[in-house]
Structure 1
Amino acid sequence: MNKINDYDISSVRLSSGMYALTKLACAGLTYVLITLLMLGFPQSDGIPEGWPLSIPYAIYAYGLPAALVADVLLRILRSKSPILPLAVYVVTGFGAGLWLAAEQGAEYLLWGLGGVLGLLLLRVTQLGVERFPLLLPVFALFLPLLCLLLS
């Protein structure tokens, strides 16, 4: 007779929901930080000069899926090394930058390095956001929407 594990479905839903909210919050905080950094640069139609696309599109369409892939790879590798997450995020960020450059017709090396910086910023904001779980909805929804309205 096979023994079937009895999983707590509500616990699985709660942990996956918190993961999704955390990822949205770190993307939102990254969006706010990059928007604040780019305030002094000239823009046309919400796209900074020299960028092939807008900031939110770059973060949510390219950076967030790449961060999810990096998390899956880290989950599969299950290493205790503190250097492995950094290496995985660098490689995945470079891949996201190449993906962006291939689709938007931008320079490969420049946007590959931009993808690395963007994904490392996503990781740093994730580490920061996880320390303050009560602020997750603010960074996930309200602050990015406010930035979109103001820009």
Structure 2
Amino acid sequence: MNKLHNYDIPPVPSVRLTAGLYALGKLASAGLTFVLLSLLMLFFPQQGGIPEGWPISVPYAIYAYGLPAALVADALLRVLRSGSHLLAWPIFAAAGFGAGVWLAAEQGAEMLPWGLGGIAGLLLFRAAQLFVERYPLMMPVFALFIPLLCLLLL
């Protein structure tokens, strides 16, 4: 008979599981940001689903510009090998400014106001990411169900 040795070897999560949870966390953060901005934009006039004064709709701004900027900010944090939460805020602010300028350049809007709006949007994205990481059972809800419900209702 073979003897089983009880070694204290911690289980290592698979790469697929880690990547999947990362992607789900990012989508949940984008979904929570979308919900919060959509609730805020209910108090402003809209025309065709686009808030007045905005060059694009809220979901397009978050998923097409904010999400890639958040991925770039995460990549910068990974390259810097920083686990500090204090360093993450300025990096997300810089990435948000870049996303706002990118949006303004593509949509023909003014650079500075949209750069500042990008900072606010990506800092909200970072706060949503911290919330989602704190409550992981909410990830599927904010990644899929709540944003789809918002899109149906708006």
Structure with max Cα Rg: 2
Deviation at 1:81?
Answer: 4.3
Report the number of matched residues: 144
1:31 counterpart (12, 31, 34): 34
5+ residue gaps, structure 1, are 1-7
Aligned to 1:46: 49
Matching of residue 21 in structure 1 with residue 13 in structure 2: no
2:115 counterpart (112, 117, 120): 112
**Distance in 1 between residues matched to 2:39 and 2:49, nearest whole Å:** 13
Deviation at 1:84?
Answer: 1.8
**Distance in 2 between residues matched to 1:80 and 1:20, nearest whole Å:** 19
Deviation at 1:10?
Answer: 6.4
Aligned to 1:147: 150
**Distance in 2 between residues matched to 1:81 and 1:132, nearest whole Å:** 20
**Distance in 2 between residues matched to 1:80 and 1:22, nearest whole Å:** 17
Deviation at 1:78?
Answer: 1.3
Matching of residue 76 in structure 1 with residue 79 in structure 2: yes
Share of identical aligned residues, percent? 70
Give TM-score scaled by structure 1 length: 0.91
2:70 counterpart (64, 67, 72): 67
**Distance in 2 between residues matched to 1:21 and 1:47, nearest whole Å:** 27
Distance 1:82-1:21 versus aligned 2 partners, 3 A rule: closer
Deviation at 1:82?
Answer: 4.0
Matching of residue 138 in structure 1 with residue 150 in structure 2: no
4+ runs of 1 displaced by more than 6 Å?
none
Deviation at 1:83?
Answer: 3.0
